Structure 1
Amino acid sequence: MLQTLTPSEEEIMQLIWHKGQIYFRELMDIYPEPKPHQNTVSTFLKILVEKHYLATEKQGRIYLYSPSIGFDDYKNFVLKRFLENYFDNSGAELLKVLVDEKYLETKDFEPFTEGNSKKTSLKENIEEENHIQEFIKEITGEKKSKKKDKKEKKKGKKKNK
Protein backbone atom coordinates (compact mmCIF):
# COMPACT_ATOMS: atom_id res chain seq x y z
CA MET A 1 0.00 0.00 0.00
CA LEU A 2 1.18 3.51 -0.78
CA GLN A 3 2.26 5.81 2.01
CA THR A 4 1.57 9.52 2.05
CA LEU A 5 4.40 11.82 1.08
CA THR A 6 5.51 14.97 2.84
CA PRO A 7 5.42 18.15 0.74
CA SER A 8 9.21 17.99 0.30
CA GLU A 9 9.12 14.34 -0.75
CA GLU A 10 6.31 15.08 -3.16
CA GLU A 11 8.26 17.97 -4.67
CA ILE A 12 11.19 15.65 -5.37
CA MET A 13 8.88 12.99 -6.81
CA GLN A 14 7.26 15.58 -9.10
CA LEU A 15 10.68 16.39 -10.55
CA ILE A 16 11.53 12.71 -10.98
CA TRP A 17 8.13 11.86 -12.53
CA HIS A 18 8.65 14.71 -14.98
CA LYS A 19 12.16 13.52 -15.94
CA GLY A 20 11.45 9.78 -15.87
CA GLN A 21 14.78 8.82 -14.34
CA ILE A 22 17.50 11.00 -12.94
CA TYR A 23 20.92 11.13 -11.33
CA PHE A 24 21.43 12.97 -8.05
CA ARG A 25 23.49 15.72 -9.71
CA GLU A 26 20.76 16.31 -12.33
CA LEU A 27 18.15 16.50 -9.59
CA MET A 28 20.16 19.15 -7.77
CA ASP A 29 20.54 21.11 -11.01
CA ILE A 30 16.81 21.23 -11.76
CA TYR A 31 15.65 21.68 -8.15
CA PRO A 32 13.92 25.07 -7.86
CA GLU A 33 15.27 27.83 -5.63
CA PRO A 34 15.71 27.95 -2.71
CA LYS A 35 17.60 24.69 -3.08
CA PRO A 36 18.00 22.60 0.05
CA HIS A 37 21.41 21.28 1.04
CA GLN A 38 22.61 18.20 -0.88
CA ASN A 39 22.52 16.10 2.30
CA THR A 40 18.85 16.98 2.79
CA VAL A 41 17.96 15.92 -0.75
CA SER A 42 20.01 12.75 -0.35
CA THR A 43 18.10 11.91 2.84
CA PHE A 44 14.77 12.46 1.08
CA LEU A 45 15.87 10.15 -1.74
CA LYS A 46 16.74 7.42 0.78
CA ILE A 47 13.31 7.83 2.42
CA LEU A 48 11.58 7.63 -0.98
CA VAL A 49 13.46 4.41 -1.72
CA GLU A 50 12.39 3.00 1.68
CA LYS A 51 8.77 3.99 0.95
CA HIS A 52 9.09 2.14 -2.40
CA TYR A 53 8.46 5.26 -4.48
CA LEU A 54 11.92 5.08 -6.07
CA ALA A 55 14.10 2.34 -7.46
CA THR A 56 17.86 2.71 -7.68
CA GLU A 57 20.34 1.36 -10.14
CA LYS A 58 24.00 1.64 -9.24
CA GLN A 59 26.14 2.78 -12.15
CA GLY A 60 29.73 2.89 -11.03
CA ARG A 61 29.86 5.12 -7.96
CA ILE A 62 26.56 6.89 -8.62
CA TYR A 63 22.90 5.91 -8.53
CA LEU A 64 20.23 6.36 -11.16
CA TYR A 65 16.84 6.99 -9.56
CA SER A 66 13.60 6.05 -11.31
CA PRO A 67 10.00 6.04 -10.08
CA SER A 68 8.59 2.74 -8.83
CA ILE A 69 5.12 4.25 -8.50
CA GLY A 70 3.60 5.92 -11.54
CA PHE A 71 2.29 9.46 -11.34
CA ASP A 72 -1.26 8.36 -12.23
CA ASP A 73 -1.21 5.74 -9.46
CA TYR A 74 -0.11 8.39 -6.98
CA LYS A 75 -2.78 10.84 -8.18
CA ASN A 76 -5.46 8.18 -7.68
CA PHE A 77 -4.11 7.40 -4.20
CA VAL A 78 -4.12 11.08 -3.19
CA LEU A 79 -7.60 11.62 -4.64
CA LYS A 80 -8.98 8.60 -2.80
CA ARG A 81 -7.53 9.82 0.52
CA PHE A 82 -8.81 13.34 -0.20
CA LEU A 83 -12.33 12.03 -0.80
CA GLU A 84 -12.17 9.88 2.35
CA ASN A 85 -10.84 12.67 4.58
CA TYR A 86 -12.79 15.67 3.33
CA PHE A 87 -15.87 14.51 1.41
CA ASP A 88 -17.05 11.39 3.25
CA ASN A 89 -16.03 9.28 0.23
CA SER A 90 -18.50 11.15 -1.98
CA GLY A 91 -17.41 12.19 -5.45
CA ALA A 92 -20.75 14.01 -5.79
CA GLU A 93 -19.91 16.19 -2.79
CA LEU A 94 -16.56 17.07 -4.33
CA LEU A 95 -18.20 17.97 -7.64
CA LYS A 96 -20.78 20.12 -5.83
CA VAL A 97 -17.99 22.12 -4.18
CA LEU A 98 -16.13 22.45 -7.49
CA VAL A 99 -19.27 23.83 -9.15
CA ASP A 100 -20.24 26.05 -6.18
CA GLU A 101 -16.75 27.55 -6.06
CA LYS A 102 -16.79 28.05 -9.85
CA TYR A 103 -13.86 25.71 -10.55
CA LEU A 104 -16.22 23.86 -12.89
CA GLU A 105 -19.32 24.88 -14.78
CA THR A 106 -22.24 22.57 -15.45
CA LYS A 107 -21.46 22.71 -19.19
CA ASP A 108 -18.12 21.02 -18.40
CA PHE A 109 -20.12 17.86 -17.60
CA GLU A 110 -21.84 17.59 -21.00
CA PRO A 111 -19.33 15.14 -22.48
CA PHE A 112 -19.82 12.89 -19.45
CA THR A 113 -23.59 12.92 -19.05
CA GLU A 114 -25.34 9.65 -19.76
CA GLY A 115 -27.90 11.01 -22.23
CA ASN A 116 -25.36 12.75 -24.39
CA SER A 117 -22.87 9.91 -24.46
CA LYS A 118 -25.62 7.36 -25.14
CA LYS A 119 -26.87 9.35 -28.14
CA THR A 120 -23.38 9.61 -29.53
CA SER A 121 -22.51 6.01 -28.88
CA LEU A 122 -25.91 4.81 -30.14
CA LYS A 123 -25.44 6.74 -33.40
CA GLU A 124 -21.91 5.38 -33.75
CA ASN A 125 -23.13 1.87 -32.96
CA ILE A 126 -25.88 2.07 -35.60
CA GLU A 127 -23.42 3.30 -38.23
CA GLU A 128 -20.94 0.58 -37.30
CA GLU A 129 -23.70 -2.04 -37.37
CA ASN A 130 -24.78 -0.92 -40.87
CA HIS A 131 -21.21 -1.28 -42.15
CA ILE A 132 -20.99 -4.74 -40.64
CA GLN A 133 -24.33 -5.80 -42.14
CA GLU A 134 -23.27 -4.58 -45.60
CA PHE A 135 -20.02 -6.50 -45.33
CA ILE A 136 -21.82 -9.67 -44.22
CA LYS A 137 -24.26 -9.40 -47.15
CA GLU A 138 -21.34 -8.92 -49.51
CA ILE A 139 -19.46 -11.99 -48.37
CA THR A 140 -22.48 -14.25 -47.82
CA GLY A 141 -24.56 -13.14 -50.77
CA GLU A 142 -25.58 -15.49 -53.54
CA LYS A 143 -22.65 -16.79 -55.48
CA LYS A 144 -22.70 -16.79 -59.22
CA SER A 145 -22.81 -20.22 -60.65
CA LYS A 146 -19.53 -21.17 -62.29
CA LYS A 147 -21.44 -23.16 -64.90
CA LYS A 148 -23.28 -20.04 -66.02
CA ASP A 149 -20.01 -18.17 -66.26
CA LYS A 150 -18.53 -20.94 -68.41
CA LYS A 151 -21.63 -21.02 -70.63
CA GLU A 152 -21.50 -17.24 -71.04
CA LYS A 153 -17.80 -17.38 -71.92
CA LYS A 154 -18.47 -20.05 -74.55
CA LYS A 155 -21.28 -17.93 -76.03
CA GLY A 156 -18.96 -14.94 -76.10
CA LYS A 157 -16.26 -16.94 -77.91
CA LYS A 158 -18.78 -18.22 -80.49
CA LYS A 159 -20.01 -14.68 -81.17
CA ASN A 160 -16.45 -13.43 -81.65
CA LYS A 161 -15.68 -16.15 -84.25
Structure 2
Amino acid sequence: MPVISIKNAAIKGYHVYQVRAPEGLHLVVKKEYGNPHDQYALMIYVPELVDIEASMHNIVTDDKRDLVLQQVAGLPMGHVPYILSEGIYKCIDMKLASKVTCCVTGGPRQSFPPWPAVDEKGGGALIPADYFITVSDEHLSTAVKLVNDAIQKMAEKSVLEVVVV
Protein backbone atom coordinates (compact mmCIF):
# COMPACT_ATOMS: atom_id res chain seq x y z
CA MET A 1 0.00 0.00 0.00
CA PRO A 2 1.28 3.48 -0.80
CA VAL A 3 2.29 5.83 2.00
CA ILE A 4 1.97 9.62 1.76
CA SER A 5 4.80 11.22 3.74
CA ILE A 6 4.63 14.82 4.91
CA LYS A 7 8.18 15.87 5.73
CA ASN A 8 9.40 18.86 7.78
CA ALA A 9 6.19 19.19 9.79
CA ALA A 10 5.74 19.42 13.56
CA ILE A 11 3.82 18.22 16.59
CA LYS A 12 2.20 21.19 18.33
CA GLY A 13 1.44 21.51 22.03
CA TYR A 14 4.62 20.36 23.74
CA HIS A 15 4.16 23.20 26.26
CA VAL A 16 0.88 21.59 27.34
CA TYR A 17 1.69 17.86 27.34
CA GLN A 18 5.47 17.87 27.95
CA VAL A 19 5.78 14.29 26.71
CA ARG A 20 8.60 13.19 24.44
CA ALA A 21 9.19 10.10 22.33
CA PRO A 22 12.40 8.85 20.75
CA GLU A 23 13.13 9.72 17.14
CA GLY A 24 11.93 7.06 14.71
CA LEU A 25 9.15 5.63 16.89
CA HIS A 26 5.86 5.65 14.98
CA LEU A 27 3.34 7.57 17.09
CA VAL A 28 -0.41 7.09 16.94
CA VAL A 29 -2.56 9.78 15.28
CA LYS A 30 -6.29 9.78 16.19
CA LYS A 31 -9.27 12.07 15.83
CA GLU A 32 -9.88 14.29 18.83
CA TYR A 33 -13.66 14.39 19.08
CA GLY A 34 -15.30 17.44 20.59
CA ASN A 35 -12.40 19.87 20.36
CA PRO A 36 -14.14 23.28 20.62
CA HIS A 37 -11.29 25.08 18.81
CA ASP A 38 -10.82 22.79 15.79
CA GLN A 39 -13.38 20.47 14.23
CA TYR A 40 -10.53 18.65 12.44
CA ALA A 41 -8.31 18.23 15.52
CA LEU A 42 -6.02 15.21 15.59
CA MET A 43 -4.18 14.08 18.74
CA ILE A 44 -0.82 12.35 18.71
CA TYR A 45 -0.14 9.63 21.28
CA VAL A 46 2.85 7.57 22.26
CA PRO A 47 1.89 3.95 21.42
CA GLU A 48 0.74 1.68 24.22
CA LEU A 49 3.55 -0.31 25.83
CA VAL A 50 2.37 -3.61 24.27
CA ASP A 51 2.85 -2.01 20.83
CA ILE A 52 6.45 -0.94 21.51
CA GLU A 53 9.36 -3.30 21.02
CA ALA A 54 10.59 -4.49 24.44
CA SER A 55 14.16 -3.40 23.63
CA MET A 56 12.91 0.22 23.51
CA HIS A 57 11.05 0.28 26.85
CA ASN A 58 13.94 1.79 28.81
CA ILE A 59 15.05 4.40 26.26
CA VAL A 60 15.32 7.76 28.02
CA THR A 61 12.81 10.22 26.61
CA ASP A 62 13.37 13.12 28.99
CA ASP A 63 16.76 13.56 30.71
CA LYS A 64 15.60 16.43 32.95
CA ARG A 65 12.69 14.47 34.42
CA ASP A 66 14.46 11.09 34.18
CA LEU A 67 11.62 9.51 32.17
CA VAL A 68 11.87 6.40 30.00
CA LEU A 69 9.59 5.30 27.19
CA GLN A 70 7.64 2.78 29.26
CA GLN A 71 6.60 5.61 31.62
CA VAL A 72 5.08 7.72 28.83
CA ALA A 73 3.55 4.89 26.76
CA GLY A 74 -0.06 5.65 25.85
CA LEU A 75 0.14 9.34 26.80
CA PRO A 76 -0.84 12.22 24.52
CA MET A 77 2.08 14.19 23.03
CA GLY A 78 0.32 16.97 21.17
CA HIS A 79 -1.65 17.83 18.06
CA VAL A 80 -1.20 17.78 14.31
CA PRO A 81 -0.74 21.45 13.31
CA TYR A 82 -3.90 23.40 12.61
CA ILE A 83 -4.94 23.34 8.92
CA LEU A 84 -2.67 20.35 8.12
CA SER A 85 -4.96 18.39 10.42
CA GLU A 86 -7.90 19.18 8.14
CA GLY A 87 -6.39 17.28 5.20
CA ILE A 88 -5.32 14.30 7.30
CA TYR A 89 -8.64 14.27 9.22
CA LYS A 90 -10.59 14.10 5.97
CA CYS A 91 -8.45 11.15 4.81
CA ILE A 92 -9.36 9.34 8.04
CA ASP A 93 -13.01 10.43 8.01
CA MET A 94 -13.56 9.40 4.38
CA LYS A 95 -11.88 6.05 5.14
CA LEU A 96 -9.14 6.75 2.59
CA ALA A 97 -6.41 6.16 5.18
CA SER A 98 -5.94 2.76 6.75
CA LYS A 99 -3.29 4.09 9.13
CA VAL A 100 -1.84 7.48 10.12
CA THR A 101 1.37 7.78 12.13
CA CYS A 102 3.92 10.41 13.01
CA CYS A 103 7.65 10.21 13.75
CA VAL A 104 9.66 12.67 15.82
CA THR A 105 12.65 14.08 13.89
CA GLY A 106 14.13 16.34 16.58
CA GLY A 107 13.83 17.59 20.13
CA PRO A 108 11.27 20.06 21.47
CA ARG A 109 11.97 23.71 20.67
CA GLN A 110 10.28 27.05 20.35
CA SER A 111 8.55 27.55 17.03
CA PHE A 112 10.77 28.90 14.29
CA PRO A 113 10.13 30.37 10.85
CA PRO A 114 8.02 29.61 8.91
CA TRP A 115 6.06 28.27 11.92
CA PRO A 116 4.26 31.04 13.85
CA ALA A 117 6.38 33.11 16.22
CA VAL A 118 6.14 32.21 19.90
CA ASP A 119 3.86 35.18 20.66
CA GLU A 120 1.58 34.64 17.61
CA LYS A 121 -1.52 32.45 17.45
CA GLY A 122 -0.28 28.91 16.86
CA GLY A 123 3.21 29.75 18.09
CA GLY A 124 4.96 28.19 21.05
CA ALA A 125 6.76 24.93 21.63
CA LEU A 126 6.77 22.30 18.93
CA ILE A 127 8.48 19.02 18.14
CA PRO A 128 9.79 18.52 14.57
CA ALA A 129 8.10 15.50 12.98
CA ASP A 130 7.08 13.74 9.78
CA TYR A 131 3.61 12.30 9.12
CA PHE A 132 2.75 9.08 7.29
CA ILE A 133 -0.65 8.28 5.79
CA THR A 134 -1.14 4.73 4.50
CA VAL A 135 -3.77 4.52 1.76
CA SER A 136 -4.90 2.03 -0.86
CA ASP A 137 -3.90 2.47 -4.51
CA GLU A 138 -7.49 3.36 -5.39
CA HIS A 139 -7.61 6.22 -2.82
CA LEU A 140 -4.11 7.59 -3.37
CA SER A 141 -4.92 10.49 -5.70
CA THR A 142 -7.85 11.70 -3.57
CA ALA A 143 -5.80 11.51 -0.37
CA VAL A 144 -2.83 13.36 -1.93
CA LYS A 145 -5.20 16.09 -3.15
CA LEU A 146 -6.75 16.52 0.32
CA VAL A 147 -3.32 16.78 1.94
CA ASN A 148 -1.97 19.18 -0.69
CA ASP A 149 -5.10 21.35 -0.54
CA ALA A 150 -4.65 21.72 3.23
CA ILE A 151 -0.93 22.47 2.91
CA GLN A 152 -1.60 25.20 0.34
CA LYS A 153 -3.61 27.07 3.02
CA MET A 154 -0.67 27.02 5.45
CA ALA A 155 1.96 29.71 5.93
CA GLU A 156 4.40 26.82 6.48
CA LYS A 157 3.76 25.36 3.00
CA SER A 158 7.21 26.43 1.79
CA VAL A 159 8.94 23.85 4.02
CA LEU A 160 6.46 20.99 3.92
CA GLU A 161 7.30 18.26 1.43
CA VAL A 162 4.80 15.62 0.32
CA VAL A 163 6.33 12.38 -0.97
CA VAL A 164 4.53 9.19 -1.98
CA VAL A 165 6.40 5.97 -1.31
Greater relative contact order, per chain length (Cα 8 Å cut-off, separation 6+):
2
Higher helix proportion (structure 1 or 2): 1
* Both proteins in one fold, TM over 0.5: no
Higher strand proportion (structure 1 or 2): 2
Larger radius of gyration: 1
TM-score band by shorter chain is: under 0.3
TM-score, L = length of structure 2 = 0.23
